[in-house]
């Protein structure tokens, strides 16, 4: 995203209808190309949660039969709500909380709720990434911790006898 630091002057209207002297307003940043914006939005929408969770949801809820209502819901609710949020942010030139407050002060709870959901999602993704890094760094040891059944966390029935290597 490119940021233009050119300052332009703008007249400010006050409630009595008169204009105050112009004041310097910093110009907003702009995307370099439309493709840059689309790819950034796709990365934010799809995210790791949808990549990991979608196959499980298809398997759990009937396979291809689940796919039909999923697509219908995405087309009727997901995409229109995404366009609503994008248009509100662009129209009000505000963030997620303040754009709803600018429309109606009672609606600022929608902004707080969406930010809370994002915080919870980010926390759960961080935990999953921590597991991935733990196993990545553990895989560099000479004997892999999960390659044998003699670990402290194993119970008597957690190992298959076919995988136990007997050393003579």
pLDDT digits (tens, 9 = 90+) for 79-124: 898 888 888 888 888 888 888 888 888 988 998 998 998 888 888 8
Residues 89-103: b if buried by 16+ CB within 10 A, e if exposed: eeeeebebbebbbbb
154 assigned to a ligand binding site: no
pLDDT of residue 24: 63
pTM attached to this predicted model: 0.55
Band (pLDDT 50/70/90 cuts) for residue 26 is low
43 assigned to a ligand binding site: yes
Single out the residue of 29, 25, 27 nearest to residue 3, CA to CA: 29
Residue 151 to residues 136, 142, 146, 162, Cα–Cα distance (Å): 18, 15, 8, 17
Helix axes 108-138, 96-103, angle to 10 degrees: 170
**d(C-alpha 144, C-alpha 134), whole Å:** 12
């Amino acid at each position: 995203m490119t940021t233009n630091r050119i300052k332009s002057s703008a007249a400010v209207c006050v409630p009595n209808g008169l204009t105050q002297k112009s004041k310097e307003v910093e110009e907003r940043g702009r995307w370099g190309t439309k493709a840059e914006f689309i790819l950034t939005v796709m990365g934010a929408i799809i995210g790791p949660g949808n990549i990991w969770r979608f196959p499980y949801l298809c398997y759990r809820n009937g396979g291809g039969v689940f796919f039909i209502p999923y697509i219908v819901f995405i087309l009727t609710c997901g995409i229109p709500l995404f366009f609503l949020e994008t248009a509100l942010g662009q129209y009000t030139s505000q963030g997620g909380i303040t754009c709803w407050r600018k429309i109606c002060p009672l609606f600022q709870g929608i902004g707080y709720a969406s930010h809370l959901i994002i915080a919870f999602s980010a926390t759960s993704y961080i935990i999953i990434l921590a597991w991935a890094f733990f196993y990545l760094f553990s895989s560099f040891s000479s004997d892999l911790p999960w390659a044998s059944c003699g670990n402290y966390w194993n119970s008597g029935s957690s190992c298959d006898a076919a995988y136990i290597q007997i050393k003579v």
